[in-house]
Structure 1
Amino acid sequence: MGFHLPHIFAILTLAAVALANHAAQPAPQLYWNSVLPNTQMPRAISELLHPDSTNEEKSKPEIFPLANKDYLQKGYGKGKPVQKGYGKGKPVQKGYGKRSPPSDNQLLHYKELAIFFFEKDMRPGTTMKFQFPRSSNTATFLPRESAQSIPFSSNKLPEIFNHFSLKPTSVEAKTIKETIEECEAPGLKGEEKYCATSLESMVDFSTSKLGTRNVEAVSTEVLERGATMSMHNYTTMPGLKKLAGDKVVVCHKENYPYAVYFCHAIKQTAAYVLSLKGDDGEKVKAVTICHLDTSEWDPEHLSFQILNVKPGTVPICHFISTDAIAWVPKHKSA
């Protein structure tokens, strides 16, 4: 049997292209493909992957990628009020921390918005007022090896500031300090928390806490932008999907020079994906977390004031923001 050179050449060409594509992929992408081959990567993650992220200079951005401060000050931050006692999508131990309780006017404003809501509010035809802004936190992932080479500890702050060429008195340095301190703070009773400084470590933490690599990773996505960027009245559309399991790992993006995620494993929860349509035509795939047991939450928690309920009485739900990731086990095949 003779050699068919054109056929062999075609095979070798395809193999070469495949190897080139493999080499061009960033290390975090390759790790995802090897550990989670059957899990679709959400947009909130894929947008933060770049082939040149292995370049050490990429860890020293010219512009520090801080989130929109006006938005944070309004109290919505990561899909939840950041100044009014909700921490990272969980109740804080002392109501409002160092912040003052909301004024009557602020509370009235919060009650107009779907910061917290009930499970019944996700029924088709229900309307909720909210805003899903574009995230201005553009910090990208470093490969795990690069991230591990940079200190991430309050004991190493001078070294960290020097690495990023920051003055200790700068706003950026203060943000770094606050993020690290939050990551080092003790978690709530029964909470398993971790700050992932790379995509690889986020994958490892999430799959270990769920006890499986057969997982889904989902994020809130604005599928079609509306005519304006203001608050909208959204109508819940048919097609509500309840995700598997009664435990979810939620990872919220932090303000840091490179992508760092505050992750926490939350028991006794239900996660949903629902479709929303704004009054200006905006379409959103919204990921929702419902806390089924709030009996140990601080009675001063903002959610109880907004919904006028007491701890441990009813499940309380909230959206996650467009740069947060919810990890859940996949439904088992029939």
Structure 2
Amino acid sequence: MRNFTCKCGNTLYFANSSCLSCGRSVGFIPEQLTLSTCELIEDNVWLAYADNQHYKPCSNYTKYQVCNWLVPLNQEGEYCSSCALTTHIPDLSRQENVLLWYRMELAKRRLLYTLKKLGLPVWRPIPDKPPLRFRFLEDVKEDKYGNELTVKSTIITGHNNGVITLNLREAEDASRVLMREKMNERYRTLIGHFRHESGHFYWDVLIQNSPWQQSFRDLFGDENIDYMQSLEAYYKSGPPANWQENYISAYASMHPWEDWAETWAHYLHIVDTLETATEYEVALLGYETVNPLTNNGAANPEFDVVYEDWCRLTTVLNALNRSMGLDDAYPFVISDRALLKLRFVHDIVQKQLSA
């Protein structure tokens, strides 16, 4: 993730809605992937210094402060291109839900930033495919007295026909950690959920009925294997004993679709984190870190270069976390087979950029 610069020279971060130095309002311009200092011209009309164009803040920016994206002034509608993708939001009469919704939207915007930089279709129409949409739902049950009570999870995080649904509890740190322990996972994050579920969406868009489908099956397996039977078998017996030899995570062993989604998510982890490292001019063992998201992906380095830098960076990240008594930042070992799958994702993304 890039950092940005205010008109006053102060550093701005992706989530900022104002400059902490000069106090100016700032807004993200998705068409340019830049965060700009803005001047209030009149009610709901902002002038962005980045391009000297007029914008209006997203309605969720002004009403709830859960967004910091801008809308072109001549564009119809009150929502930015990110918030317009969300079809269901939590019950905002519950005050705590506003913060959880903000966390959901922030993680979603980080995902969209990376997808756009990789040249992947998000907003443009995809022939014969449903558009990408998001639902943020919560587990609620009404008792006989009319009171709403939170109960055990009934909202399942997942993807179906272009719609990504996330359980609001994933935005609660304590609930997410509890679920991570219950599921015997070493890694579970909100952005990880978004990246994983987007993988299912892009399997439908990029792999299904495409020239890539046979290559996918050669690497990941036949997706026609019964999904529900695979799911039941996984939760009954767990992953195969040698799963580390073939999969990037235990859950990836459940079904070829999950293998793809886990691999896709890891690829997005890699490119986003490496861009952040280059933004801070990180150099390891005398090597400058490459940026795999340079120029909206048009000048992406070769996969081998990206992976070498990723190995160096995660070795340091894990060592630093251990020094602080924290869990590894990246608790995964990538086998040769899993590496081939990551390369496959890279090749497909590069194909999109050159199309």
TM-score w.r.t. length of structure 2: 0.22
The structure showing larger relative contact order (alpha-carbon pairs under 8 Å, at least 6 residues apart) is 1
Larger helix proportion of the pair: 2
Larger strand proportion of the pair: 1
TM-score w.r.t. length of structure 1: 0.23
